[in-house]
Chains A and B, each alone.
Chain A
Amino acid sequence: MSSQDHPPRHLRDFDDAAPGEEELNQREPIGGLGGYVIGFALAILLTAASFATVQTDLIYGPAVVSALVVLAIGQMGVHLVFFLHLTTGPDNTNNVLALAFGVFIVVLVVLGSIWIMWNLDYNMMRMHEVPLL
């Protein structure tokens, strides 16, 4: 038993009303330095790739949008795993399920808005192309 499992008396807060068990267990989501360094390196690499996609002609013009979206999603994944420590571990099941629901809502809001507004725009009279009476 280390001192962190049972903190000294003066470090305990007896008015602490947060839910859950008092004592820490062995499965706290703490990553090592290596994880942060790998995550930082990967994030720099993906950011540089995103900027290079736009500022050079390496990517075929019409594919730039897809490349940016893929690189952004990849970098978000890197942040979730290496910085937020979102893993497949048993203590993380609830976090992953909440994330899945969050992603579902985000996709619904963003793609749904774009789809509906594009459709509206397509089906409306093109006001700027119609001569004003």
Chain B
Amino acid sequence: MSEATTGALPSDISARSGTHDPYRIGRPHDGLHGHGSEATGHGEGGPASRFVITAYGFWIFLLSDIIIFSAFFASYAVLSRATAGGPTAPELFELPSVAVQTGLLLTSSFTSGLSSLATHRRDMAWTQIWLLTSGLLGAGFLLLEVQEFTAMIGEGAGPTRSAFLSSFFALVGCHGLHVGLGLLWLGTMMAQLWVKGFRADIRRRLHCFNLFWHALDIVWIAIFSLVYLLGVSS
């Protein structure tokens, strides 16, 4: 590379794009080329905001988490008939309890959505109330699941009984673990919001928490449909 070309490089490439943008990357240029979109992150409407970029990064994490769940689903699908002479799905699963768990988690997802609306209004009281409601509903879900697990283990249908039960406890337990960690995160978010207020970074974390909570509900849809309902019907 000759001296002439290196000399043409911008002198300070570490500068913030908002203040120095020598090539006008992501800035409207002559208005003749491009599709005229005002959307950010596409070269027309300027760079995307931190809110959008953070949510995108967290969305990629959620998708990789869902891929982990898909491995557990695959092993359950393969092993669901390997009961080794032990109890089978129709003997073990109680649909009324599953229906209540589904209702609790779905309502929890809805109330966390309501908390995000209150956050948008900068309404501290209602944000905290809806977050607390989501937490209590999630805790109720987890309580029912722990009761179900202890009852099954008490009947001798623990994860060591058969390959079917091993894969069942791994899959549903992994989801329960996520809900438990989500509750811990929810508690810390309520405390952070209380102490630090609606700061930009706190709002981004709240948004990520809401995405996480909705994603857990999506995984639960697959679990109640393909594990519980399918297990009872077969």
Contacts and interface: CB of A to CB of B under 8 A. Distances in A.
Main secondary structure of the interface of B (DSSP, over half): helix
A20 B18 CA distance: 9
Interface in A44-79: 44, 47, 50-51, 53-55, 64-65, 68-69, 71-72, 75-76, 79
A89 B103 CA distance: 31
Contacts of B117: 30, 32-33, 36
Interface string A83-118: 110000111011100110110011001101110010
A126 interface: no
B51 interface: yes
Interface string A13-39: 100101111111101111011001001
B120 interface: yes
A75 B226 CA distance: 13
B142 to A, nearest CB: 19
Contacts of B60: 98
Sort chain A's interface into a size bin: 35 or more
A76 B74 contact: no
Interface residues of B, number: 67
B177 to A, nearest CB: 20
B41 A91 contact: yes
A30 B120 contact: yes
A40 B49 contact: no
B204 A18 contact: yes
B214 A79 contact: yes
Contact of A18 (B50, B63, B103, B211): B50
B113 A83 contact: yes
Contacts, number: 176
Q: Is the interface of A mostly helix, strand, loop or mixed?
A: helix
B28 to A, nearest CB: 14
A64 B225 CA distance: 11
B152 interface: no
Given A69-B225, A113-B74, A11 B49 contact: no
A76 B78 contact: no
Given A27-B39, A69-B226, A113-B78, A36 B110 contact: yes
A80 B66 CA distance: 13
B95 to A, nearest CB: 7
B50 A20 contact: yes
A75 B45 CA distance: 34
A114 B198 CA distance: 47
Which of B47, B64, B103, B113 has most chain A Cβ within 10 Å? B113
Interface of A: 4, 7, 11-13, 16, 18-25, 27-30, 32-33, 36, 39-40, 43-44, 47, 50-51, 53-55, 64-65, 68-69, 71-72, 75-76, 79-80, 83-84, 89-91, 93-95, 98-99, 101-102, 105-106, 109-110, 112-114, 117
14 contacts: A13-B201, A16-B200, A18-B50, A18-B204, A22-B18, A22-B200, A25-B40, A25-B49, A28-B52, A39-B110, A40-B107, A65-B230, A84-B211, A99-B59
List the 3 shortest-distance A-B pairs measured between CB atoms, nearest first.
A90-B39, A102-B63, A113-B74
Given A30-B117, A72-B226, A98-B63, 7 more contacts: A13-B200, A18-B54, A21-B50, A27-B39, A79-B218, A83-B113, A114-B78
